[in-house]
A and B are shown apart, each in its own frame.
Chain A
Amino acid sequence: MRAFLGLLARNRLALAGLIVMALVVFFALITPLLPLPDPDVTNTSNRFVPPFSEGALLGTDHLGRDLLSRLMWGTRLSLAVGFAAALIAATIGAAIGIIAGYYGGRTDNIIMRGVDMLMAFPYILLALAIVAALGPGLLNALIAVAAVNIPFFARNIRGITVGIANKEFVDAARLSGMSDARIILTEILPNVIPVIVIAMSTTVGWMILETAGLSFLGLGSQPPQADLGSMLGEARSALITNPHTSIVPGMMILVIVMAINLLGDGVRDALDPRLKSGALNRPLPATLVARDRKPVEPKREGILTLTDLETQFRVKDRVYRAVGGVTLGVRPGECLGIIGESGSGKSVTALSVMGLVASPPGIVTGGSVHLEGEDLIGAPYRRLRTLRGRKVAYIFQDPLATLHPLYRIGDQLIEAISAHRAISGAEGRAKAIELLEAVRIPNAASRIDNYPHELSGGMRQRVGIAMALANDPEVIIADEPTTALDVTVQAQILSLLDDLRRERGLAIVFITHDFGVVGQLCDRVAVMYAGRIVEEGPTRDILDTPRHPYTARLMACVPELGGGRRRLEAIPGLPPAVNDLPPGCAFAERCTRVQPDCRKGDIALEPSGARAVRCLHPVPEQEAAE
C-alpha cells in the first residue's frame, strides 16, 4: 500500500488530481459551516450581477441568487449523488458478479445473459427509460445512473471472482465444510474489494457527469434545489446575455471530472506492472547509440565484421551488459555459427548489427560494426534502412510471431522487395512466386495467397527465408531459425540454407544453441557466454577438441545419434545475471576446473593459430579429444 502511494505520488499529474479532488471534497464538506448566503433565496432586484462584484464573488443568477453559494451547495450535492450512485452500482454489481462467478454453471449463464442484454443498450437511453418510468427527480436520476452502471461492475467482478473461485485456498475452505456464504465473505470478498475500489475510482467521474447530465436535461434535481447540472441547465436560457452563470457551474464539473480522471489514470498506471517494467515502451526505428569511445577499426577480415561491440539494456538504474565486447568476422560464402545458452547475448549481438535491438531499453555503447568497410554503428536511420533487407537480411525464430498475421505471405514478400525498389504488381507477384519456389514451397502460385496461420511451421520458416532472399543480400543473419521446428523439417531447412550459400555466395551468421546444427552447416563457430566470446575457431577443431570448459560442457549436453552410452550432462547452476557480472571468468561459478586466479582479473581471448580461447586453464588437448 505504501509502495502504491509512493508510485502515485511520483506521478505528478495524478498527485495534482488528488490534491484538487481533496480540496473540492474538503470545501464540499465544510460548506454548511461557511458564512455563505442561502443558495435558494431569490432577490430579483439583484439579477445577473457580474462576477467579482461586491457581496457576490461569482455574481448572481437569473433570480438574483448568490452564485458562489449555489456553486458550493451544488458541488456538494453533485459529489454526494455521484458517489452514492457509484457506491450503489458497485455494491449491487459486485454482489451479482460474485454470485455469478462463484456459483458458475447455469446461475452464471442466466445472470450474465441478463447483464449482456443490459449492455446492449446505449446507456443514457436506459437511464432515460428508467427516469421516464419513475418520473423526473434527483433520487430517480441517481437510481437510473446507478442502475445503468451495474452491468459494468457485475461483469468485471465476475471475471475476477471466477479466477479466485478456482484457487486452492477456496477449495480448502470448501473441504473444511465452510458454508458458501462464509466462503464468499471471508475468502472471496477480501480479494475482490481492491478491484471494486479501482473500478469505482475510474467510474465515479462518469457517474457525476451522468447525473449532472440528467439534471441538465431537467430530469434530475428539481428547483429550487440545484446540483451542478441543473445550474447549467437553468443558465442555458441566459447563455448569450450572461454567460458567467453557465461558465461557473460548467467549469466546476470540468475540474471535478478532470481531477478524478487524472487520479484514476494514476491509480491504473501505478497498478499496471507493464508500465513499471517498461514493457509498453515503443521500440525506436533504430537502436540508440551512445558510444563514449572512438569507433574502432575492424580487427577481423570479412564482408561483415563486429569489433569490440557492446550493447546494454538500461532499465531504471540497472544496467544489463548483454553484449560485452564481441569481435567477429564473416566472409562471403562462409557460415559462422554463434552458439550459447539462452541469455548468452547471441541474439542481441545479431540484432545490434542492423540496429534492431529494441530501444529503449537497448543501447549500443561501444565498438563498431563494419559492412563492406562502412561503420553501421551510429549510421543515420535512413542509411540503415536502405541496408536492412537489401545487404543484410534476417531470418527469425518462430515465424508465426515474426510474420504479420493479417497480410498474405505474397504481399509480405512483395513488400520486402518494394521497400527497396519500385516494382509493378505483376512483376512483384512473379518474383514472389519465384522466391517461394527457390525455398522449395510446393504450389507456390497458390500458396502466395495464404495467410501465415494457414501454413505449417516449416512452410512459414521457408517463407521467412524467402523474404530474406528477396533482395539478394550479401549477408544473412539467421537467429535460431530451426529451433521451433521438428527434426526432419529442421534438416530440410538447414540443407536449403547450405545450398543457397553455395549457389549465391552468401555469408551466413547462424545463431543456435545446438551443436548438432553447427556441425552440419557452419565453417567456423564462436561460443558465447554471458555476453562475451569464450572460444572461437573452425567448427571441426572445436567439435573435436573443445578447449574452454564451457564449450566442453555445452557439447556434453548434446545427445548424439547412436551414442547411447555417453552420459548426458546438464551444466549445474545458471549463467550469471549480466547486470552483476563477477570479476574474472564469468563461468568460474559453474566450472569444474576453476582455480583461484580465474576470479582475479579480466581474462583475454587468447589466439592460437585459427582458434582462440578465453580461459586460463583450458581443457588439455588429449582430454578434450576423448
Chain B
Amino acid sequence: MTRYILRRLLSAIPVLLGISVIVFAIMAMIPGDPATAILGSYATPENVAALNEDLGLDKPLVQQYFIWLGNMLQGDFGRSFALNRPVLDEVLERFNATLVLAGTSFVFCSVLGIMAGVVSAANQYGAADKAITFVVLLGISIPSFFLGMMMILTFAVNLRWFPASGMWPIYGDRDIWALLDHLVMPAFALSVVATGVIARLSRSAMLEVLRQDFIRTARAKGVPERGVIWRHALRAAMVSIIPVLGIQAGFVLSGAVYIEVVFQWPGIGRMLVDAILRRDILLVQGGVVIVAACYVFFNIVVDVAQSLLDPRIKT
C-alpha cells in the first residue's frame, strides 16, 4: 500500500509540471507587453523596462519558465502588486477559507447525493424515485449563484435565520458556532449541483449492481432487503461512485468562485475574480497553480480510497 501511494505521488509530478506549463503558457498569451498590463497604460517606459528586467521578462520564454518554476519550488510566487504582499501568503490565507467552504459542501453533497441515489434506485419508478428525480433535475439546472441570491433573500432577509454574507460576524466571537451559522447557506448553495450529479450517478450505479448475480445470492441467503441494498449493492456501487466524487470535488472547488462572490466569502475564488479585474497577474498565476496542485493531490487521495475499497485492484 505504501508503495502504491508513493507511486501515485511520483506519477503526479509530470501532471504538476504540465499544469505549470499550461498556466505559464496562458499567461504568456497576454496580448502586448505584460509589464504594461501589470502597470497599466500610464506607466513610463522606464518603469516598464525596469519591471521587465525585474520579472525577467526580457529573457527568452523557456528561460523565463524555468526561472518562474524554480522560484515557485522555493515558495516564491512573486508579489501581488495591488495588495503589496507575497502571493503565497495571500493565497494560503484565502485558500483556508475556501477549503472550509468547499470541504463542508463536498461532505454534504457526497452523503446526501449517495443517499438520494440509493433511495431512488431502491424505489425505482416509485413515488420517492420520482420526487428525488425531479428535485435532482431542478438542482442540476439552477445556477448556483442564482440559488445563492434567492437563499439570501429568503433565509437571511425575510426569515432572518442566517447571516447574509461573510465568514465571521463583524462583532462577537469567532467560535465554531459563528462559523457554522455563516457556513450553512453558502455550503448548501455550493453543494446543490454536485448533489444532483452524484445522486443521478449513484442511482444508475445502484441499478446496474442490483441486477448482478451476487445480489440474487444475498437474497437467496435470506439477507433482509435493507442489507441487500445498503450493504451488498451500495458497497459494490461505490466502486463506480468514488471516481465521480473525485470529479465533483473539482466542480465544488471551482464552483466556490460564484458562491464566494455571492456570499462575500473571503476565499480564493473571490480573490481570483478581484485579481483578474485588477489585472493582478501574478496573484492569478499563483492562485491557479496552488489550487490545481491541491486538486491533483486530492485525486490521489481518491485513487487510494478506491484501492482500499476494491481488493481486486492491484496495489
Contacts and interface: CB of A to CB of B under 8 A. Distances in A.
B227 A356 contact: no
A623 to B, nearest CB: 42
Given A219-B273, A358-B211, A120 B15 contact: yes
Nearest to B21: A117
A387 interface: yes
A416 B221 contact: yes
Given A113-B18, A401-B213, 14 more contacts: A125-B253, A128-B257, A129-B285, A209-B143, A216-B143, A217-B257, A232-B149, A246-B153, A257-B141, A258-B138, A262-B137, A283-B211, A405-B214, A406-B309
A282 interface: yes
Interface in A499-535: none
**Which of B31, B142, B212 is packed against the most chain A CB atoms within 10 Å?**
B142
18 contacts: A120-B299, A121-B292, A121-B295, A133-B29, A216-B258, A243-B153, A250-B146, A250-B149, A261-B140, A261-B141, A282-B121, A385-B225, A388-B222, A393-B221, A398-B213, A402-B214, A404-B235, A420-B222
**Which of B138, B143, B212 is packed against the most chain A CB atoms within 10 Å?**
B143
A236 interface: yes
B257 to A, nearest CB: 6
Interface in A110-139: 113-114, 116-118, 120-126, 128-136
Interface stretch (B42-50, B60-68, B276-284): B276-284
B59 interface: no
Contacts of A381: 225
Nearest to A240: B157
A221 to B, nearest CB: 14
**Which of B15, B140, B149, B285 is packed against the most chain A CB atoms within 10 Å?**
B149
Given A253-B143, A401-B213, A122 B222 contact: no
Interface string A178-218: 00000000000000000000000000010001001100111
Contacts of B216: 283, 351, 356, 358, 396, 402
Interface stretch (B77-85, B105-113, B202-210): B202-210
Contacts of A282: 121-122, 124, 206-207, 210-211
Interface string B12-49: 00010011011100110111000000000000000000
A124 B222 contact: no
B234 to A, nearest CB: 11
Contacts of A132: 26-27, 272, 275-276, 279, 281, 284
A128 B284 contact: yes
Interface residues of A, number: 82
Contacts of A467: 217, 221
Nearest to B164: A240
Nearest to B138: A258
A218 to B, nearest CB: 6
Contacts of B221: 388-389, 393, 415-416, 419, 467, 470
Contacts of B137: 258, 261-262, 265
A401 B146 CA distance: 47
B288 A232 contact: no
B230 interface: no
Contacts of A134: 29-31
A467 B292 CA distance: 49
A67 to B, nearest CB: 16
B163 interface: no
Interface string A232-265: 1000100110010011001001100110011001
A285 interface: yes
A114 B208 CA distance: 33
A257 B145 CA distance: 14
A254 B277 contact: no
B308 to A, nearest CB: 11
Contacts of A423: none
Given A209-B143, A404-B236, A405-B236, A419 B222 contact: yes
A579 interface: no
Nearest to A391: B222
A415 B124 CA distance: 26
Given A121-B295, A123-B250, A281 B124 contact: yes
Contacts of B150: 246-247, 250
A403 B250 contact: no
B172 interface: no
Given A121-B19, A216-B145, A239 B232 contact: no
Interface residues of B, number: 81
Contacts of B219: 285, 356, 388
Contacts of A285: 219, 225, 228
Contacts of A122: 250-251, 253-254, 291-292, 295
Given A121-B295, A133-B26, A282-B121, A401 B212 contact: yes
B217 A402 contact: yes
A386 interface: yes
Given A125-B291, A388-B221, A405-B214, A136 B232 contact: no
A567 to B, nearest CB: 37
B122 to A, nearest CB: 7
Nearest to A403: B214
Contacts of B21: 117
A320 interface: no
B261 interface: yes
**Which of B222, B251, B257 is packed against the most chain A CB atoms within 10 Å?**
B222
A465 interface: no
Nearest to A384: B222
Interface string B164-189: 00000000000000000000000000
A257 B138 CA distance: 10
A136 B224 contact: no
Interface in B86-123: 121-122
Interface string B239-282: 10000000000110111011001100000000011011101010
A136 B277 contact: yes
A385 B213 contact: no
A130 B26 contact: yes
A423 to B, nearest CB: 14
B313 to A, nearest CB: 11
Contacts of A406: 235-236, 239, 309-312
B152 interface: yes
Nearest to B273: A217
A422 to B, nearest CB: 13
A132 B149 CA distance: 25
A279 B208 CA distance: 9
B220 interface: yes
B21 to A, nearest CB: 8
B218 interface: yes
B296 interface: yes
B222 A389 contact: yes
B153 A239 contact: yes
Given A121-B295, A280-B208, A128 B273 contact: yes
A4 interface: no
A129 B217 contact: no
B146 A125 contact: no
Interface in A342-356: 351, 354, 356
Contacts of A116: 15
A404 B143 contact: no
A216 B143 CA distance: 11
A404 B217 contact: yes
Contacts of A27: none
A239 to B, nearest CB: 6
A217 B236 CA distance: 41
**Which of B152, B220, B227, B296 is packed against the most chain A CB atoms within 10 Å?**
B220
A133 B145 contact: no
A387 B219 CA distance: 11
B220 A356 contact: yes
Contacts of A83: none
A518 B29 CA distance: 77
A9 to B, nearest CB: 19
Contacts of A405: 214, 236, 312
A247 to B, nearest CB: 8
